[in-house]
Amino acid sequence: MALEKWLSEKDIKKLEALNNPKVIQVVEEFFSLCKPEKGVVIDDSDEDIEYVRKLALDLGEEKPLHLDGHTIHFDSYYDQARDKANTRLLVPAEKKDEYGKHINTIDRDEGLKEILSIMDGCMEGKLAIVRFFCLGPTNSDFSISALQITDSAYVAHSEDILYRTGYEQFKRLKDPNDFFYFIHSAGPLTEKNVTKNIDKRRIYIDLEENRVLSVNNQYAGNSLGLKKLALRLAINKAINEGWLTEHMFISAVIPPKKNRKTYFLGAFPSACGKTSTAMIPGNSIVGDDIAYLRINKDGEVRAVNIESGIFGIIRDVNPRDDPEIFKALTTPGETIFSNVLVKDGKPYWLGMGNDIEVPKKGTNWTSSLLGEWEEGKKDEEGNELKFSHPNARYTIRIEDLENCDEALNNPEGVKVSAIIYGGRDSDTSVPVYESFNWNHGVFIGASVESETTAATLGKAGVRKHQPMANLDFIVVPLGKYLKAHYEFGKKVEDDKRPKIFSTNYFLKDENNRYYDEILDKKIWLLWAESRVHNECGAIETPIGYIPKYEDLVKLFKEVFNVDYSKERYEAEFSIRVDKFLEKLDRIEAIFKEEKMMPEEFFIELNNQRKRLLEAKEKHKTGIISPFTFLN
């Protein structure tokens, strides 16, 4: 074994104890390529995990804050979000045309040659950390083992919070080659301890080897292999094996005065209310980001959260709208803040509450390039710099939340009763509606649209197509991805198939004001939950089933003691036929260009268009009141 050059005898024994030749081969290959000064192997022990936490502080990648266990990490000024342009799928040249326009591909041979050249010596002078994790609960049909090699203690520490330890899980692998692996290097660092060679930032996904190679970045969406990078690998694995990997939260909806839990999954594009929906007060949370879905021996759809923590957008987390998260962020405990403002050891972020006075100067995400921040400071283009980045983040354990669901680590997962698809839509869709059936629901999910936000690099405020809120992470042809959803539904009996709903929290009036308050989403979920249990009726419309006015009146009164007016109901739940028809035209134009599209999708699209046109002809208007459909 050539690893004696980098590893102690104790660390080599840790690797040998796994009895896994492929693990040894991967470590040897990338130590030889990346050329770290030395390496360390971390197992599941408390001692090893504490070593990683301390290392992040000792290396200056994190700094302590005023509350015990809280730390701050800053990414480079130019590394504040997922880098779509430099995140590419390695595809053999002969298959490139199969993947459609939505996947950023590069010839596999060309891409490997490029990134391996960039990674040559990228860890010089640094410590390479070898980690083992499990995606999903351990000892489960859902479990996927993952190996991470990184030169960032911040990355390694973050993954300790976000994922379950997996060293012992590796010993239980039935197939020693069946694991994902991720190689990451922040690359050479500046004197401010941030990545220097941003122009050589690359994140390349290799499906043939079930691996991701990532270099010259620190932002977690680019560097934490087990998060969105592993999501891509798992989507490919799931589709080829007959299950689903989705960009979805898992939450238990708990209606007042009823002794039951109903588990919902929800897919929302980034910054569209996904975490806040998963964290609605009164409900409990299993996960806020990624779910694996399988059908068990009893024919039920079950799901697990692949993570055990949350890497969430901190903007607008405040005690009124997100009380559980806010409490966790202001209580001692293991928490990493990133790219917020820090002054006197205290973190400050956008929208944290009107009662909190933000300092006029301090250290923030701009400091690594432009020096300390102060109010009124501008960037090179003359734009005023915010004190906290709009995509600033927090990293916490779900178990630290008071509303953590007891099923978080259940190896059998939870029974899925409903799935929600949501996006940003200011002028078309109603706050909530139910699909007619599974195939219609898949069509709804495939048709999600959203405005771009600061969570991805590029211009904000542009409406984008976001099928299943998963477009950025789909690594198979879009038609193949949708076909997998239709096929999955066929395997489930009618009475066990989850209901599918659409939500939209962003509908605006003619004065550009939102109809919904932030917590009104609780009402829409409670209505959907009552539909799962057949406790209320609905109005059939061309787009699906919408709530009856009297049911919403009752819910608003019981939950918030608010009188829900007929005027607001009519404004929110009128069917904007012309706007829906415009959306169908956009969606059809996109999917007509995709290959391998399932016939079911276009059947649903044509049926929806037909229903809308017939309703418009019948009622002689492009906006139809919900009360009209009662006649």
Question: Residue 452 has what pLDDT?
Answer: 60
Is 405 inside a domain boundary? no
Is residue 456 scored above 60 in pLDDT? no
Question: Residue 102 has what pLDDT?
Answer: 82
Residue 454's nearest CA partner among 80, 73, 192, 166 is 80
Q: Take residue 45 and report the two structure tokens written for it.
A: 């022990």
Are residues 162 and 299 located together in one domain of the fold? no
Are residues 177 and 210 located together in one domain of the fold? yes
Q: What is the pLDDT of residues 232-250, one digit of tens each?
A: 999 999 999 999 999 999 9
CA atoms within 13 A on the CB side of 390: 12
Is 406 inside a domain boundary? no
Are residues 570 and 549 located together in one domain of the fold? yes
Q: Please state the residue numbers annotated as binding site for Mn(2+).
A: 228, 247, 289
- Match 């975490």 to its residue by tokens: 275
Are residues 422 and 340 located together in one domain of the fold? no
CATH number of the domain residue 30 falls in = 3.40.449.10
Is residue 453 scored above 70 in pLDDT? no
Q: Who wins on pLDDT, 261 or 97? A: 261
Question: Residue 73 has what pLDDT?
Answer: 97
The three-state secondary structure class of 40 is strand
> Which whole number is the average pLDDT over 461-472?
85
- How far CA 256 is from CA of 169, 415, 475, 523, in Å, comes to 40, 20, 41, 11
Q: Please, which residues bridge with residue 71 across strands?
A: 64, 336
Is residue 562 scored above 80 in pLDDT? yes
* Confidence band, pLDDT 50/70/90 cuts, at residue 380: confident
* Confidence band, pLDDT 50/70/90 cuts, at residue 321: confident
Is 612 inside a domain boundary? yes
Enclosing domain of residue 495:
246-307+411-630
Is 609 inside a domain boundary? yes
Is 71 inside a domain boundary? no
Is residue 593 scored above 90 in pLDDT? no
Q: Please state the residue numbers annotated as binding site for substrate.
A: 82, 219-221, 270, 391-393
Least confident of 88-92, 230-234, 267-271, 369-373: 267-271
Q: Please state the residue numbers annotated as binding site.
A: 82, 219-221, 228, 247, 270-276, 289, 391-393, 424
Are residues 186 and 263 located together in one domain of the fold? no
Is 67 inside a domain boundary? no
Structural domains in the chain (count):
3
Is residue 460 scored above 60 in pLDDT? no
Active-site residue numbers?
272
* DSSP assignments along 368-437, one per residue: HHH-SEETT-B-TTSPBPPSS-TT-EEEEEGGGSTTB-TTTT-TT-EE--EEEEE---SSS--SEEE-SS
Is residue 402 scored above 60 in pLDDT? yes
Question: Which of 360, 375, 398 marks a domain boundary?
Answer: 398
Least confident of 24-33, 115-124, 322-331: 322-331
CATH number of the domain residue 468 falls in = 3.90.228.20
Q: What is the pLDDT of residues 544-554, one digit of tens each?
A: 999 999 999 99
Query: Backbone phi, then psi, for 459, in 5-degree steps?
Result: -75, 135
Contact 544, 439 (CB under 8 A): no
Task: Give the single-character DSSP code of 227.
Answer: I
Query: Backbone phi, then psi, for 550, in 5-degree steps?
Result: -65, -30
> Which whole number is the average pLDDT over 27-40?
98
CATH number of the domain residue 316 falls in = 2.170.8
Are residues 548 and 601 located together in one domain of the fold? yes
Q: Which amino acid type is present at position 105?
A: T
Q: How many helices (H) and strands (E) does the chain have?
A: 18, 34
* Confidence band, pLDDT 50/70/90 cuts, at residue 271: low
Are residues 126 and 9 located together in one domain of the fold? yes
Contact 421, 525 (CB under 8 A): no
Residue 193's nearest CA partner among 77, 302, 100, 278 is 77
Question: Which of 242, 263, 289 marks a domain boundary?
Answer: 242
Are residues 576 and 468 located together in one domain of the fold? yes
Are residues 447 and 323 located together in one domain of the fold? no
Contact 84, 458 (CB under 8 A): yes
* Confidence band, pLDDT 50/70/90 cuts, at residue 595: confident
* Confidence band, pLDDT 50/70/90 cuts, at residue 461: low
Question: Residue 462 has what pLDDT?
Answer: 67
Question: Residue 457 has what pLDDT?
Answer: 46
Is 327 inside a domain boundary? yes
* Whether pTM exceeds 0.85: yes
Are residues 303 and 326 located together in one domain of the fold? no
Q: Who wins on pLDDT, 11 or 320? A: 11
CA separation for the pair 363, 350 (Å, rounded)? 15
Is 70 inside a domain boundary? no
CA separation for the pair 224, 243 (Å, rounded)? 24
* Confidence band, pLDDT 50/70/90 cuts, at residue 98: confident
Are residues 384 and 419 located together in one domain of the fold? no
Least confident of 56-65, 198-207, 450-459, 595-604: 450-459
Are residues 525 and 585 located together in one domain of the fold? yes
Task: Give the single-character DSSP code of 195.
Answer: B
Mean pLDDT across the chain, nearest whole number? 94
Question: Residue 451 has what pLDDT?
Answer: 67
Is residue 94 scored above 90 in pLDDT? no
Strands 127-135 and 38-41: parallel
Is residue 211 scored above 50 in pLDDT? yes
Question: Residue 367 has what pLDDT?
Answer: 93
* Confidence band, pLDDT 50/70/90 cuts, at residue 459: low
Q: What percent of the chain is modeled with pLDDT above 90?
A: 87
Q: What angle do CA 30, 161, 387 make, to 5 degrees?
A: 100
Question: Residue 320 has what pLDDT?
Answer: 85
Question: Which of 398, 424, 451 marks a domain boundary?
Answer: 398
Question: Residue 285 has what pLDDT?
Answer: 97
Contact 438, 493 (CB under 8 A): no
